[in-house]
Structures are given as structure tokens and as C-alpha cells.
Amino acid sequence: MPRAIPREVSDEFIRTAFERCPSGLIVVDRTGLVTAVNQEVERLFGYARAELLGQPVEMLVPPEAAGGHASLRERYGAQPTTRRMGAGRELFGRHKDGRDIPVEIGLSPVETPEGTFILGTIVDVSERRALEDRLRQTHKLEAIGNLASGIAHDFNNILLGIMGYAELAREASAGFPSVVADLDVVVDTARRGRDLVNRILVFTRKSQPSRTPTRFETPVRDAIQLLRATLPPNIQIREGFDPSTPEMLADGNELHQIAMNLATNAAHAMKDHGGVLEVWVSPVTVDALFAAAHPGTRPGLHVRLSVSDTGTGIPAQVLDRIFDPFYTTKAKGEGTGLGLSVIKQIVVSLGGAVDVVSQVGQGTRFDVYVPAAPNRPAEDAKVDTSSPALRQILLVEDEQRLASLGQRILESEGFAVSVHTSSMQALEDFRSNPARYDLLITDNTMPHMTGLELVQQVLAIRPDIPVLMVSGIGESMSAEELKQLGVTRLLSKPYQSSELKAAARELMPAP
């Protein structure tokens, strides 16, 4: 039988303090047998006191570490000293149910007439470790956000040049179908590069997506088309789109990210043995019970995207972590662990929810629910897309090739365009004849004078002129903030030719 608590701690007051201490307290003799524990040790490890007394302390140590622990304990017992908690080692205890518990342990030798006992102080640091993990993830995201913000402007300018000149070449190659097809691939690849930048910026909350009534079908079809070309022949794709599916208030790039990530993950789960990838878009009305189980959602009409596979499935112990940033079960080089966390963040920001059901060896199904957009009038106001009368635009872009690209796009729409690669020179031109121009289009990141500074100077001369900012500045400022600074509209780089033309038509004052 184990010896009782030494007489030095048998006083009622000290016994009560020992028992009610919020940290786990355990007394071990020189042979490593447990002689006393308090109620926190019982709670922490799940054992009743009677199950612990007289047992080797190694029963509270993970089996893989128990042998080494006994050796360390013996060496410590030969020359016991006070050892502070958290002395640089990551320690784990083993719960009765088999779970490993991160702990910090302090040791104190206690000399008594019955011999030397070791008093161990044990603290569960699960919550603190989880907080530290979240903090590390936050720092990672901040680092990605800072990196992305730093390179986004230059990278998007590169993509804009690729996309814009490829579109011009495509228009000039109308009689050569194979050339047009190749240039379509170039444009689409550049657009995917743009979406990759937006994916990181959205995830790190450096971007304010423009959400308009949108249908899920188009981005889903685009994602399937891109994926189909890369799939092995042993993976089949089945798709279905309910024509009664309503629109959503969403950004097309966001929807494409959702569809592409889910479809790619499903294909990856079937890469070894093949299978069937199914993608369905349909309307569904969610009830109060669903909304209660998915905080942030509301009962009502939703759009549901279902992506399922017949692949390897996801183990139950992994399901709870699949939406964690940087968590991935893929091999090194096959994934970053950002995909599903991006999806979750986008869907939640849309007021929706994501459900997942999986069984090992049977496959996985993801269901994405996004609220339907409010009903719009039966007939939208018609937009005049006819070519405008010759109107004058002041275009300011510090990169010559992009300035020339913008000029060609706008002139093809019938506008007269004056181009400046220096914001200072553009301001002097405007000062010389303020009434000449009907619209200012400017980049923001320029030497000597930024686009926003140019806008302030121009509006001080002529407050009524509309301003189109063509830049990545939306990564750091909201549309409302830009409006307060005089920017009528923001068009993010890289843009398509049709987007620039439409924006210019929209902002050009009536003649």
C-alpha cells in the first residue's frame, strides 16, 4: 500500500489547500508510485483517485514516452532539485480515454521523516496552446497579406499587359480560329493568375469584392471546363444545373474559387483509383432548424452547390480540422491548406454555410449554401451600349505599354484619348484646359504624385469631372473611402477590355 500524505501536510488547512488547488497536484515517492492526488488531477486525467494511488506515475505518460520517463525520473530522484514549470520542454500527459493532453509540470522535492517525496504541479495548457496556434496562423496570414499587397500592383500590371494585348490580338485574328483558340487560353490563364492574387487578398481581408446578382452556373461551368482537361480518363464528371436556381449577391471570382477548390480536391481524392465527380447546382429552402445549426445563416431560399466524389474519404478525426488555415493532408508540394479555409471564409461572408459528409473508402460530399439575392424588377433598365460620340478622356498610367494598351482599347470604342505617363505632366495638361476633358482615368501607384493626389488636384480645379481609378488600391481602401476622396469608381487591375469600355461608357457624362 502507498504511504499516506506525510505529517507535514496533514493539517486540515493544508489538506484543504492541496485538494482545492486549481492546478493538478500529485505526490510521488522515490520509487515512482503515486501516493496522493488532488481533485484537479482526477478531472484532468479522467481517473478516480483510487485508480491512481499506488500505481506507477508512468500510467499518466503517453506509452511512447513512458520508458524514457522512468529513466529520467530515476536520474532526477538521485539528485532532486526544484524545477520550474514550463522549463522549455513540450510535455504531454495521457488521459484515461487515450487522449494526449499538453501540460506543463513543475517538480519540488519534499523531505519528510518518511523519506523524500516529489510534489508535481500539473497545468493543462490546451487552451493556451490553441491560442498560440491561432496567433501563429494569424501571423502567417499577416505575412501573406503583406507580401501579397506588396507584389499585387506589379504582378497585376504584368497580367494586365498579357491579358489586354492577347485580347487585342484575338480581335485581329478573327479569320484564324486556331489562333483565336490559343489566345483564348492565354487570356484565361492570365485571368486565373488574377484570381490567384484575389484569392490571397480576399483571404487576408485586403480586398473588397464587388458583389452583384450573379448565377452560380457560369463560374461552376468554367471551373469544370478547366479541370476536365487535366483529369485522367478514369475520373468521370457528372454535372447538373437546375434552371430554376436563383441569383446570389456574390463576386464571380469568389464563386469560381469555391467551385474550383472543391472540384480539385474531389479529383485529388480519386487520383489513384479513379471514380465519379459530381457537381450540382440547385435551389433549396432552408428552415429554422438548419439556420440554428449554422450560425450566421437565416431561413429562406438558398442556392446549393453540391460537389461529391467516390474517393478515399476523410477520416473522422480530420473532419474537424479541414477548414483550419494551412492544415492539409496532402503530400508536400501538393497543397498549402488554404483552399478549404478560403471557401469557408467566402461562404460565411456571403451569409451562407458549408456542410461536409464523408466516409473513409466511400467518398466525400460538400454542400455549399448561399442565400438567394432579393427579387429584382422583371425588366432591368436597358443600358445603351452603342458607341459614344467622340468624347475626350485624360488617361494617366506610368507604364508606357499599359498606357498604350488603355489608349487602344478606349479609342476602339470611339473615345478620344490623351495619354500621360507622368501624373505631374497630366496635371499641367489639365490645368491648361480644364473644360477639354470629360473623364479622368488614372492609376494610383505612380512616382512623384500618386493617382489619389492627382485626383485631389484635378477636382480642386473642376469638381464635376468623373474619375475612374484603375488600380489595385481597393486592396487597402473601401469603395466608400475612395468616393469620399473623389473617386467615382474603381476598376481593379488586371481588367478585361470589355470592363474598361463599360466603365468609361458608364461614367462619361451625357453630351
For residues 324 and 481, the model is more confident at 481
The DSSP bridge pattern shows strands 439-442 and 100-112 to be unpaired
On whether both 216 and 344 belong to a single domain, the answer is yes
Give the Cα separation of 501 and 415 in Å (integer): 10
pLDDT for res 84 = 80
Number of domains in the chain: 3
On whether both 52 and 111 belong to a single domain, the answer is yes
Lowest mean pLDDT among 147-161, 262-276, 344-358: 147-161
pLDDT at 281 over 90: yes
pLDDT at 191 over 90: no
pLDDT at 277 over 80: yes
Complete DSSP assignment for 196-230? HHHHHHHHTT------EEE-SHHHHHHHHHHHHTT
On whether both 399 and 371 belong to a single domain, the answer is no
On whether both 351 and 235 belong to a single domain, the answer is yes
The count of C-alpha atoms lying within 13 angstroms of the C-alpha of 82, restricted to the half-sphere facing its C-beta, is: 3
pLDDT for res 90 = 72
Q: For the packed helices 252-269 and 339-349, what is the interaxial angle rounded to 10 degrees?
A: 140
On whether both 272 and 353 belong to a single domain, the answer is yes
pLDDT at 25 over 70: yes
On whether both 267 and 338 belong to a single domain, the answer is yes
Answer yes or no: is 134 within a domain.
no
Lowest mean pLDDT among 6-10, 85-89, 214-218: 6-10
Q: Which whole number is the average pLDDT over 240-250?
A: 91
On whether both 431 and 330 belong to a single domain, the answer is no
> In which domain, by residue range, is 318 found?
211-376
Answer yes or no: is 138 within a domain.
no
What percentage of the chain carries pLDDT values higher than 70?
83
pLDDT for res 335 = 43
Enter the C-alpha cell of residue 101. 493532453
pLDDT for res 196 = 66
Could you read off the pLDDT of 307-329 as tens digits, one per residue?
A: 999 998 888 877 777 777 644 55
Domain end among 376, 407, 439: 376
pLDDT for res 204 = 54
Domain end among 89, 124, 159: 124
pLDDT for res 3 = 53
On whether both 491 and 440 belong to a single domain, the answer is yes
Task: State the average pLDDT for the chain.
Answer: 82
Answer yes or no: is 167 within a domain.
no
Which of 312, 309, 307 minimizes the C-alpha distance to 276? Answer: 309
Give the Cα separation of 66 and 376 in Å (integer): 67
pLDDT at 206 over 70: no
CATH code of the domain in which 339 resides: 3.30.565.10
What percentage of the chain carries pLDDT values higher than 90?
32
pLDDT for res 328 = 54
Give the Cα separation of 104 and 24 in Å (integer): 10
376 burial via Cβ count (<10 Å: 0-12, 13-18, 19+): exposed
Contact 332, 279 (CB under 8 A): no
Among 46-50, 85-89, 169-173, the range of highest mean pLDDT: 46-50
pLDDT at 248 over 50: yes
On whether both 339 and 413 belong to a single domain, the answer is no
pLDDT for res 331 = 46
Contact 29, 2 (CB under 8 A): yes
Could you read off the pLDDT of 111-140 as tens digits, one per residue?
A: 888 888 999 999 998 888 877 777 776 676
Domain end among 344, 376, 408: 376
On whether both 266 and 308 belong to a single domain, the answer is yes
Enter the C-alpha cell of residue 403. 498606357
CATH code of the domain in which 25 resides: 3.30.450.20
Answer yes or no: is 176 within a domain.
no
For residues 132 and 274, the model is more confident at 274
Could you read off the pLDDT of 436-470 as tens digits, one per residue?
A: 999 999 998 888 899 999 999 999 999 999 999 98
pLDDT for res 378 = 43
pLDDT for res 180 = 85
Answer yes or no: is 403 within a domain.
yes
* Helix or strand run (H / E) with residue 284: strand 275-286
Lowest mean pLDDT among 97-101, 343-347, 382-386: 382-386
For residues 318 and 245, the model is more confident at 245
Q: Which whole number is the average pLDDT over 66-92?
A: 78
- Its sign, for the CA torsion 422, 428, 433, 439, is positive
Between the alpha carbon of residue 349 and those of residues 245, 343, 345, the distances in Å are 20, 10, 6
On whether both 346 and 221 belong to a single domain, the answer is yes
Answer yes or no: is 148 within a domain.
no
132 burial via Cβ count (<10 Å: 0-12, 13-18, 19+): exposed
On whether both 264 and 290 belong to a single domain, the answer is yes
Claim: this prediction has a pTM higher than 0.85:
no
